Amino acid sequence: MEKTNFIWDMFGTNIWTVLAVISLPLLFVLVYALIAILAELKVSAWIQERVGPMRTGPYGILQPIAEVVKLIQKEDITPDLSSKLLYNLAPFIIFTGAYAAFAVIPFSEAFVPAGIDVGLFYVFAIGSISAMGIVMGGWASNNKYSLMGAMRSVSQLISYEIPAALAVLSIVVLASSMNMQEISRAQTGWFWNWFIFGGPGDWTKVWVVPFTLALAITYFIASLAETNRVPFDIPEGESELVAGFHTEYSGMKFAMFFFAEYANMFVVAAILTTIFLGGWNSPFGDFMQGPWWGAMWFISKSFFIVLIQIWIRWTLPRYRVDQLMYLGWKVLLPVALVCFLAISLFVMIK
Amino acid sequence: MSPQEIYEKLKKDFGDLVTELVDVPQTDPYIRVQPSAVFDICHSLRDDAGLEFDYLMSLSGTDLGEQLGVVYHLYSMHHRHKIVIKTEVSKENPLVPSVERLWRSADWHEREAWDLLGIRFDGHHNHIRILLPYDWEGHPLRKDYQAPETYHGMKVS
Amino acid sequence: MSEIKRMDLEYSQLDSDRMRINVGPQHPSTHGVLRLEVEVDGEIVTEVVPHLGYLHRSFEKHCERMTYQQIIPYIDRMDYISAMNNEWPYVMALEKMLDIKVPEKVEYLRVIVSELNRIANHQIAVATFGLDAGAFTPFLFYFRDREYIIWILEKLSGARLLYNYFRVGGMAADIYPTFKQEVLDVVAKVRKTNAEIMNLLIYNSIFIKRTAHVGILTPEVAINYGCSGPVLRGSGVAHDLRRDEAYSVYDRFDFEVPVGKGEVGVVGDSWNRNMVRVNEMEQSCRIIEQAIAQMPDEGDVTALIPKRIKIPKGEVYMRAENPKGDLGFYIVSNGTDKPERLKARGASFVNLSVIPEISKGYMFADLILILGSIDIVLGEVDR
């Protein structure tokens, strides 16, 4: 295994360090989810000229904890005619899918839980597990709204995985690696070395800058769809499908969906950060560069993307299901394909 | 057209089926017609040149004591004139031709009149209750209506 | 329209099972306790059957047992979003039967409160329509502004939602000293927010994609179904009782009747219906400004209110332009202090009946938007 993990460097590889490596991202997800929930509440409040929650703690910063406590206390309802095993399994599968992706996310140059060489490939493979969970939950609920939501959700996931994968593939071609740590390392230096600006290299890279920029936007749009965020929150489209595939879920199982959604938001933001925004690299060359600073840069860049997702959610209306497919297949896919070919050509000629 | 002119035109076309024009104080002038001719009269009111009542403002059932009444309030978008048509049927056999085919707005109004007053509309394509539950008994807006004690075991009060 | 037709053809080639879904009576976007039984073929709506009556409160039966004054608060509870407007045709009908000429000041006050309430209603209508399309923020922008209107109406009548402010021959209470200035301030606020919403929601390209060419209601169908208000005007029929029948003092104001023009989409689609409401808010602002300027300061608004009301025998159908459409009251009097029969012809009730006609062949998500663009309130549908 590559030396990309400070825990193994310090304590060697044994059962305790493995457990620590596994649970560190979990700890991170939990803390991050709480912050993201608060951000969602507060950002939506600012956008809508409200103050948001103010009663729990100073400026309401303890509100997410209160929400989680509320969810834990709620009755756990299982519909009578549901398929019990699948119904109960689904939330955990979805959360597992979302959480497993954290294994390859390079938080810092000294910490990536599992530095495998096909990291990006793994992320896409494991991301599809949540589609399975969604169909499971939607079908097992024995509810028409859930079923429709699940079907929409899966078709959406599949459709948008293609442009997203093409965008990622182009960067793989540019960086000639699928290892996320390698990709991050390739972008070391000033921010113009980031892949969104064509990656490292001499002035000839200006030819690819428009394509990489377009790819970054494509990937961002596709990632919104993959995480079921507005304007692509059709599977849970509140106005028609009540709550989509998780209509029947309550209490802690609902909380699992909730956490999985926020975890997914972070995963796509983290991938965007890694492949386009330089990962854990400082934007200003050697300034504030280093393992600890790297974690700071990485998390703040990712969180910035998450904030943009939240911002979009509270601004835009929702697409219709056929319009969403149109956008995915007839706009994003050709754009991504053209960019991919152009970048491949560029790499070949160079 | 004034109500008088409309009345004269209808009287010419339909003869005795158009009973009278009532124009008394505190009342919108109305034309009383025989129930059997309601559809034909309404048809000519809607389509004849100069009348063209294309808008059914309201269709109300009334309980007149001995009889049940149906009141049609018509309006013409084109000429901007109004007329009220009234007809009366017996409580034993409250059957009025449906005008739903002329004005689709009559669809729900007629269902409401059936629901609340028990007036039956001949030729209505979906003659079921609208506001009350589909298996409710009786027609509450009738003056002699007695509310049932229970409905499916639930107390009605 | 061409897009929709093409979709229809493709889907009709497939032999698939149809699914019946109950939308409501408890559903986030049926705007109340409406139940729509929807048959869908995949995502395409093939049939819609509305089931009403979940909010039926025997309004008409109750009225037969109450005196004329006691009915006014009940009328508030029909279209509870625009209670002020509801009371007007009823009071007007009684005044016509009693032959009362109300003072100038009362007429102007009625115009102002009704137009304020119209703005508040349209704000909710546009806001919830945006909410149906998934845009949450305009909803709260409008609710923030609506609060100022409600404060004024509360100061006048003492109630925030169900005002019970109109009286036969007058109003329940006179205006307060700062009334005129506050109304003008609110008008400025309404205009500012509307300008904001134009960019945020109305001309948003996703919103246009969702609402234009959806739920097209042709003028012939609209008239035949008895549609009124913004639903009818959205189809391009310039029918507005404030202008066409000019009750009260509406003939003294300079205002336009906005109709759907099809600048986006086609005339009669959901976007145009919604746009009529947005434009009407501006016209209401104009009416309010003129009414404030013309309103006489002297006069007692309670002077002509009779203590006991005994209506002479007769029957009257009176309608007025409500925010949702024509609200008509058919009142039959038997000479006592209670009506013999009172029939309310609610605009929502009639406008809703067009839903099965215009939502077939569209997608399930469109049905919700079509319902939102009709702007119903179940208190008036079920009575």
pLDDT one-digit tens code per residue, C125-140 = 998 888 888 888 888 8
Please indicate whether residue C343 or residue A82 has the higher confidence score (pLDDT): C343
Q: What is the mean pLDDT of residues C261-278?
A: 88
What local confidence, expressed as pLDDT, does residue C122 receive?
A: 92
Rounded to a whole number, what is the distance in Å from the CA of C353 to chain B's nearest CA?
7
Of A110-119, A289-298, C3-12, the range with the lowest mean pLDDT is C3-12
Looking at residues C302-319, what average pLDDT do you find?
83
Q: Is B35 helix (H, G, I), strand (E, B) or coil?
A: helix
Chain C residues touching residue B129 (CB < 8 angstroms): 53
Per-residue pLDDT band at C7 (split at 50, 70, 90):
low
Residue C160 counted as domain residue: yes
pLDDT at C1: 41
Q: What percent of chain C has pLDDT over 90?
A: 9
Q: What gap in Å lies between CA A184 and CA A120, rounded to an integer?
A: 12
Q: Name every chain C residue with its beta carbon within 8 A of the beta carbon of A233.
A: 134
Q: Among B55, B60, B107, whose Cβ lies nearest the Cβ of C343?
A: B60
**Residue of C223, C313, C341 with shortest CB distance to B54:** C223
Are residues C357 and B131, on separate chains, in Cβ contact within 8 Å? Answer: no
Domain housing B94: 3-155
Q: Check whether the bond before A231 is cis (ω within 30° of 0).
A: yes
Nearest alpha-carbon partner for A196 in A225, A182, A175: A175
User: Would you call B11 exposed, middle or buried from its count of C-beta atoms within 10 A (0-12, 13-18, 19+)?
Assistant: middle
Q: Where are the beta strands (DSSP E) in chain C?
A: 19-23, 35-41, 44-51, 166-167, 170-171, 314-322, 325-333, 339-345
- The domain that contains C318 carries what CATH number? 1.10.645.10
Per DSSP, the three-state class of A5 is strand
Contact A49, C141 (CB under 8 A): yes
Residues in chain C closer than 8 A to A50 (CB atoms)? 140
Tracing tokens 């901007």 back to the chain, one arrives at: B80
Phi-psi region of B151 (alpha: psi -120 to 50; beta: other; left: phi over 0): beta
d(CA B144, CA C219): 42
Q: C343 to chain B nearest CA, in Å?
A: 7
- Closest Cα of chain A to C368: distance in Å? 6
pLDDT of amino acid C119: 92
Average pLDDT, chain C: 86
C47, part of any domain: no
The range of the structural domain enclosing residue C209 comes to: 69-356
Identify whether the C-beta of residue C117 lies closer than 8 Å to the C-beta of residue C323. yes
Query: Is C45 contained in some domain?
Result: no
Q: In whole angstroms, give the CA distance from residue A29 to residue C247.
A: 64
Instruction: Give a yes or no: residue C332 inside a domain.
Output: yes
C349: nearest Cα among B62, B111, B84 = B111
A331–chain C nearest CA distance, Å: 15
**Residues of B at the C interface (Cβ-Cβ below 8 Å)?**
24-28, 54-58, 60, 62-63, 71, 73, 77, 80, 84, 103-105, 107-109, 116, 129-133, 140-141
Task: Write down the pLDDT at residue C187.
Answer: 92
C324 close to C122: Cβ distance less than 8 angstroms: no
Chain C: partners with 3+ C-beta pairs within 8 Å: A, B
> What pLDDT was estimated at residue B39?
87
- Averaged over C24-50, what is the pLDDT? 83
pLDDT tens digit string along C59-84? 888 888 888 888 888 888 888 888 88
Is B104 strand, coil or helix? Answer: coil
Give how far Cα C7 sits from Cα of C1, C10, C12, C47, C380, Å.
10, 5, 9, 16, 36
Q: Which residue has the higher pLDDT, C143 or B15?
A: C143
Q: Is the pLDDT of residue C11 over 60?
A: no
- Write down which chains contact chain A via at least 3 CB pairs under 8 A: C
Indicate which of B52, B60, B109 best probes the interface with C, i.e. most C CBs within 10 Å of its own CB: B60
Across the interface, whether the CB atoms of C365 and A48 are under 8 A apart is answered no
Comparing C-alpha atoms, which of C307, C310, C315 is closest to residue C336? Answer: C310
| CB-CB neighbors (< 8 A) of C330 in chain B | 58, 60, 71, 73
Residue C375 lies in a domain: no
pLDDT over threshold 60, residue C14: no
Interchain CB distance below 8 Å, B58 and C330: yes
Residue C203 lies in a domain: yes
In a domain, residue C380? The reply is no
Q: How far apart are the CA of B108 and the nearest CA of chain C, in angstroms?
A: 7
Mean pLDDT of C91-110: 87
Please indicate, yes or no, if residue C346 is contained in any of the structural domains: yes
Domain count for chain B, please give it: 1
Across the interface, whether the CB atoms of B131 and C383 are under 8 A apart is answered yes
Which of B107, B131, B132 is nearest residue C353 as measured by Cβ atoms? B107
Confidence of residue A238 (pLDDT cuts 50, 70, 90): low
For β-strands B82-90 and B30-33, DSSP reports them as parallel
Which residue do the tokens 């104001």 mark? C253
pLDDT in tens, chain B (157 residues): 788 888 888 888 888 788 888 888 778 888 888 888 888 888 888 888 788 888 888 888 888 888 888 999 888 888 888 888 889 888 888 888 888 888 888 889 988 889 888 888 888 888 888 888 888 888 888 888 888 888 888 888 7
Q: Please tell me which chains touch B, using 3 or more CB pairs under 8 Å as the contact test.
A: C
Q: From the CA of A146, how many Å to the nearest CA of chain C?
A: 12
- C-alpha C382/C-alpha C348 separation (Å) is 9
What would the pLDDT profile of A142-179 be if each residue is shown by its tens digit? 888 888 888 888 888 888 888 888 888 888 888 888 88
pLDDT, position C15: 60
Residue A300 main-chain phi, psi, to 5 deg: -70, -35
Specify the pLDDT at position A239: 66
Q: What is the mean pLDDT of residues A170-193?
A: 82
Task: Identify the residue among A51, A240, A242, A319 best suited for mutation to test binding to C, counting C beta carbons within 10 A and taking the highest.
Answer: A240
B106: domain CATH number is 3.30.460.80
Tokens 């290299």: give the residue: A201
Q: Do A317 and C134 touch (CB under 8 A)?
A: yes
The pTM of the whole model exceeds 0.90: no
Gyration radius of chain B over CA positions: 17
Domain count, chain C: 1
For residues A270 and A227, give the distance between their C-alpha atoms in angstroms, rounded to a whole number.
13
Q: What is the pLDDT of residues A31-64, one digit of tens each?
A: 888 888 888 888 888 888 888 888 888 888 888 8
Q: Residue C2 has what pLDDT?
A: 45
Mean pLDDT along residues A215-244: 80
Looking at residue A295, what is its pLDDT? 83
Kindly provide the ipTM of the predicted complex, given to two decimals. Answer: 0.89
